[in-house]
Amino acid sequence: MANILLIDDDADLTHFLRQELEADGYRVTCLDRAADAPDLLVGSVFNLVLLDNKMPGMTGIEFLEALQKRSVGVPVILITGYSTFDTAIEAMDLGAYDYVIKPDDYQALVKELRPLIAKTLELTRPVEDVHVAAEAPPAAAGPLLVGRSMVEVGKYIGKFARSDDPVLILGETGTGKELVARAFYTKSPLRRHKPFVPLNCTALNESLLESELFGHEPGAFTGADKLRKGKFEYANGGTLFLDEIGDMPLHLQAKLLRVLEYQQVERVGSNEPIQVNVRILSATHRDLEALIQEGKFRRDLYHRLNRVTVRLPALRDRADDIPELVTYFLTRAAGKANRPRPAMAEEALARLRAYQWPGNVRQLDNVVCRAFGMCRGPQILTEHLDFRSDSPPGPAAAGGQTAAVAGLNAAIEWAWATDQKPLWETLHDLLERELLKVALARANGNQTEAADRLGMARGTVIKRMQKYGLK
């Protein structure tokens, strides 16, 4: 049975509400002033406060401020007959669970309060009833090394961080390519005290990208009124990170190849070589082999860039890491907001696991941070999750045809958003490979049983297994 503290200086309303709420099974304590209530709530057993805003001595807003200073986590529903836009903002900012405008009719107020009270008590039920996430990793680790599947990436970085070999980082958007690049830089004993200079190759048009990379002399082109050093010169002695290098124009690829070979750059408008000492880290979400076949990327540059190659897994392929990532993001958000870290309800965690994450870890970070902002209690529920997607996630193991179509839509959206080519072949192979994997797993590796379930000949299953490297 929940304990409710009702604070209102209207005696008639207080009497009416107490009768109605006690009839609903709640224990109700009434006060006609708010001034002493913050101290009363410290260490109290109250589960909820219903609070009038306009009262003598201390207003509802002042009461919320007092609770915040005392770090009291009892949920508060603010009730007011004098609503303003600014007051609503202020109340929610100070931690109110909801904000109710008093109707003239007492019965209408009770009707509005009943579902809000039930919802608030549900949101604030004891944490032990929900999933409790594991201990968060050290904040300094960042999201890069969170999760078991990233340990191999960390080991690989450790092997090559000391070298000056170019590194090519491959992975979908949002998988953490720049974080990997920064890890190579910070773990390099020779270069970590020198500049780390990032440049996104898609952020500028072709002429501006050339100037950004190599610099320009005064008068080299219209608007070039003074000498400008390029990124290579600024990165001298350190590391240059070229993000989305798959989008670099061909003639700039040729100039970049020369820099890799001779460690010399020439500013636009100059023939004088400038010696530099720069380690090149590059990244792309594109299939460079396919771009080479299309004549959009130089093969010789590709072989110079991928002396060391790091492939980052998509989040949908490392779903077991999601609880640890969620804990990391929640811990970070709670620290910034100076609030206790909420737990993640099992149902909410299941929904996160079921989602396909076209935006990968970056998207998970956004979803978790939005949920943290929406959550007012000790746990995050499914209603707090907002994926901002046209294809909402289906439940992990149920939901029938709707869930299946949602999953297929998510795969299509991912392929479209990441410019997978050829689109039809990519999606066809993806579906066929995953279907084979599931069928073989369910059949405990029995090819005949898997073939029968799939409606294929056993020989066809074996050929498909060879095609996709399945065992």
Whether the Cβ atoms of residue 78 and residue 50 lie closer than 8 Å to each other: no
Average pLDDT, integer, range 180-188: 89
User: Is 24 or 412 the better-scoring residue by pLDDT?
Assistant: 24
Average pLDDT of the chain?
82
Average pLDDT, integer, range 95-110: 84
Is the pLDDT at 185 greater than 50, yes or no?
yes
Q: Quick one: pLDDT at residue 138?
A: 44
Average pLDDT, integer, range 157-162: 85
Q: Quick one: pLDDT at residue 187?
A: 85
pLDDT tens, 239-285? 999 999 999 999 999 999 999 999 999 998 888 899 999 999 999 99
**Domain spanning 148-311, CATH architecture:** 3-Layer(aba) Sandwich (3.40)
Please report, as a single letter, which amino acid is at residue 162: R
The owner of tokens 């072949």 is 425
Whether the Cβ atoms of residue 147 and residue 326 lie closer than 8 Å to each other: no
Is the pLDDT at 454 greater than 90, yes or no?
no
Is the pLDDT at 209 greater than 80, yes or no?
yes
Q: Quick one: pLDDT at residue 395?
A: 42
Smallest Cα–Cα separation from 245: which of 197, 203, 191, 293?
A: 203
pLDDT tens, 339-392? 888 999 988 999 999 888 988 998 999 999 999 988 877 889 888 898 865 344
Q: How confident is the model at residue 139 (pLDDT cuts 50, 70, 90)?
A: very low
Q: Quick one: pLDDT at residue 285?
A: 93
Token pair for 8:
């209102």
Q: Quick one: pLDDT at residue 471?
A: 67
pLDDT tens, 71-100? 777 888 888 877 665 677 677 777 788 888
Query: Which residues lie below 8 Å from residue 392, measured CB to CB, with a gap of 6+?
Result: 406
Q: Quick one: pLDDT at residue 388?
A: 67
Q: How confident is the model at residue 126 (pLDDT cuts 50, 70, 90)?
A: low
Q: Quick one: pLDDT at residue 133?
A: 41
For domain 3-124, say whether CATH 3.40.50.720 is its number: no
Domain ranges of the chain: 3-124, 148-311, 319-468
Distance CA 225, CA 314 (A): 45
What is the DSSP annotation of 381-433? -GGG-----SSPPPPSS--HHHHHHHHHHHHHHHHHHTT-SSHHHHHHHHHHH
- The alpha carbon of residue 10 and the mean position of all alpha carbons in its chain are separated, in whole angstroms, by 47
For domain 319-468, say whether CATH 1.10.8.60 is its number: yes
Backbone angles phi, psi at 241, to 5 degrees: -105, 115
Q: How confident is the model at residue 231 (pLDDT cuts 50, 70, 90)?
A: very high
Whether the Cβ atoms of residue 97 and residue 123 lie closer than 8 Å to each other: yes
Is the pLDDT at 235 greater than 50, yes or no?
yes
Q: E strand or H helix at 243, and its extent? A: strand 239-243
Q: Quick one: pLDDT at residue 430?
A: 82
Is the pLDDT at 43 greater than 60, yes or no?
yes
Whether the Cβ atoms of residue 248 and residue 201 lie closer than 8 Å to each other: yes
Identical fold between 148-311 and 319-468: no
Q: Quick one: pLDDT at residue 414?
A: 67
Is the pLDDT at 291 greater than 70, yes or no?
yes
Is the pLDDT at 34 greater than 80, yes or no?
yes
